[in-house]
Amino acid sequence: MTKRNGWLATALATTMVTTMATALAVTPALAETPKHGGTLTYMIPADAPPSLDGHKENTFATLHATAPFYSTLIAVNPDNPSSTTDFVCDLCTEMPKPTDDGKTYTFKIRTGVKFHDGTPLTAADVATNWEYIIHPPKGVSSARESYMVMVDKVENPDPETVIFKLKFATSAFVPALADPFAYIYPKAQLEKDPHWFEKNIMGSGPFKFVSYEIGQSMKGVRNPDYYHKGQPYLDGFNAIFAAKQSVRVDAIRSDRAATEFRGMPPSARDELVKELGNKVTVQTSDWNCVNLLTPNQKKKPFDDVRVRRALALAIDQWKGAPALSKIATVHTVGGLVFPGSPLAATKAELEKMAGHWPDIEKSRAEARKLLKEAGAEGLKFELMNRNVDQPYKFVGTWAIDEWSKIGVHATQKVLPTGPFYDALRHGTFDVAVEFNCQNIVNPVLDVAKVLPRSVYPENYGGYEDAKMIELYNAMLHETDPAQQRVKMRALEVYALDTQVDTIMTPWWNRILVQRSYLKGWKISPSHYLNLNLANVWLDK
């Protein structure tokens, strides 16, 4: 009980401090009164999404096109999305305090909310949707089932209440619940045909569906019955799909579009700022995405921890990050945990781990020594990378150069996404430039990437490690923030320094250039968040 109260107090204090800090930081923006009207045109840096169903899909292309139509139970605070701990109600009336030793969360649902067809939204709709997400019926796919392993059941005792009963208390639950893909669909339609939402839209969000031109655009119009009074400010939106970066940059430059919501490389930012000056604003944030250099431990000599450690020690993170950030979408040196999270390692903690030592010469001397001991001097191997420019190829090229400084010769092999995944899954690579990119900052779940494949199917390191699982479970079940942080460090040191199962590269940097008339929208550490456009307005 004491532990829980301590956690709550810390979380509350963090939230208050963050909120106050943000309020101070954005005072000029808040001083402006939002204006109603206008249509926002923005670019979606993708081709057509596979389907429109948030429960089923995992791609941002679905979210960028459909989020404005839907409500979720809770969400990151749209006025403070940079915080990793500030969650607010969307369909609920108040963020609940957990009971039953942190294992029960009771949500009261707003009344008077209507779906776009006029039917009322009740707690039954919310409960059924979450039940489908957590325990999908046979033949129904939920991309988020694995994220909700802590949930035992969802109850709906009355039309205004939804109760989540957890199997164990964990701080990972609330962020997982704020998943932006967890749209609330009408229960009746969901039960009648769960696949209906793959091709159709029916939500209760700030915008109503107007049209979808496959692979080209999605259009929405203001929902006059939206439950957040006064919002949305826009009359409508027009989202245009454009996979090619030059098209998006030219569109913003010529004011055919006001922005995009994923992220741009520094060169695009510099070009737009140079051409448009104060007609554009730039927002940046650390991004909850990171490339990992993963040795395949099923192949020699990468089964030898001395070789893996040497590869980590060769990389100068502290000098590399600022240099790379000038040309690639990376920025911050970090460990396993997203740098903006309270659970992240401090610089002093990082500097104790392989690949983060402050003295690079000492680090590389140690690397050479380890390679010699392992009989792997002059090691040659192939670095498998994904055929994506930003930042994959930049990071891969940088790593190869760093390794050359200890006499290791790596060549880069670039594959399209399909063959890249195939090689990962079949273990037909030496070292891979992997990535971990999660839609909401939930470090407790995000770091599961280092768990062996028997536990986490997307681990491609080719190792089994009972101690790693033990360390992870201890951290996952810990509810006291201070203790959880200690346990997270133990896991991180074990994964990155003791076993060196993967090698970190700088965390990504999210850069967005927007037309200055676009107001109200604030950047978050994820391109999946804060996309319903309810608080966005145009100062034209």
Footprint of another protein on this chain (CB under 8 A)?
A: 47-48, 50-51, 56-60, 139-147, 195, 198-199, 213-217, 238, 240-244, 246-247, 250-251, 253-257, 275, 289, 416-423, 425, 435-439, 448, 456-458
Distance CA 449, CA 460 (A): 9
Comparing CA positions, the residue from 15, 37, 26, 510 lying closest to residue 283 is 510
Contacts of 5 (CB under 8 A, 6+ apart): none
How many residues are there in the chain? Answer: 540
Looking at beta carbons only, is 140 or 474 nearer to another protein? 140
Strands of 104-108's sheet in order across:
104-108, 161-166, 151-158
Looking at beta carbons only, is 154 or 249 nearer to another protein? 249
Looking at beta carbons only, is 256 or 347 nearer to another protein? 256
Shortest Cβ 289–another protein spacing (Å) = 6
Looking at beta carbons only, is 147 or 227 nearer to another protein? 147
Shortest Cβ 389–another protein spacing (Å) = 14
Looking at beta carbons only, is 114 or 393 nearer to another protein? 393
Strands (E), 101-242: 104-108, 151-158, 161-166, 207-213, 217-222, 236-241
Shortest Cβ 528–another protein spacing (Å) = 8
Shortest Cβ 276–another protein spacing (Å) = 8
Shortest Cβ 342–another protein spacing (Å) = 22
How is residue 462 annotated by DSSP?
-
Burial class (CB in 10 A: 0-12, 13-18, 19+), 362: exposed
C-beta neighbour count of 358 within 10 angstroms:
14
- Kindly report the backbone phi and psi dihedral angles of residue 131, in degrees, each rounded to the nearest multiple of 5, phi listed first: -65, -40
Distance CA 430, CA 376 (A): 14
Looking at beta carbons only, is 199 or 352 nearer to another protein? 199
Looking at beta carbons only, is 153 or 219 nearer to another protein? 219
C-beta neighbour count of 2 within 10 angstroms:
7
Shortest Cβ 529–another protein spacing (Å) = 13
Shortest Cβ 530–another protein spacing (Å) = 17
Strands (E), 296-427: 330-332, 380-386, 409-415
